[in-house]
Amino acid sequence: MASTVDTEKPLVPNAARKRISAILKGGRVGYSRHAREEMEKDDLTEVDVTNVLRGGRIIEPAELGPVDWTYRVHTSLQCVVVAFRSETELVIVTAWRKKR
């Protein structure tokens, strides 16, 4: 799936959080094969991932991946990495349960 997002510059964390919230309300969330594999390893569900996206924080700057900027959304227990495909679509790149 080709991205229609401007890859020249990343969103600031607050703008990325707002876009995630808007997509959760009325857009589309997809999952990479890698994300599904990692979620299974850590016994994470789509509900877990959605909860992280709803309540988590973006504390690091965006990272430029092979195609798009990626954003790490953290809670105290989990991390979910997302990339925007458009204004209304994001993909879960990976997710994991943090070690204690």
Q: What is the pLDDT of residues 1-29, one digit of tens each?
A: 454 555 578 999 999 999 999 999 999 99
Closest by alpha carbon to 8, among 64, 58, 60?
64
Q: What pLDDT score was predicted for residue 41?
A: 97
- Matching residue, tokens 């993909």: 91
Task: Answer yes or no: CATH 3.30.2310 is held by domain 13-97.
Answer: yes
Q: What is the mean pLDDT of residues 64-91?
A: 95
Q: Is the pTM of this model over 0.85?
A: yes
- When pLDDT is cut at 50, 70 and 90, the band that residue 99 belongs to is confident
Residue ranges per domain, the chain?
Answer: 13-97
Single-letter code of the amino acid located at 51: N
Task: Give me the sheet containing 28-31, strands edge to edge.
Answer: 28-31, 89-97, 78-86, 69-74, 63-64
| Helices (H), ranges, the chain | 13-26, 33-41, 46-55
29-54: pLDDT as tens digits:
999 999 999 999 999 999 999 999 99
Angle at CA 92, nearest 5°, toward 90 and 98? 140
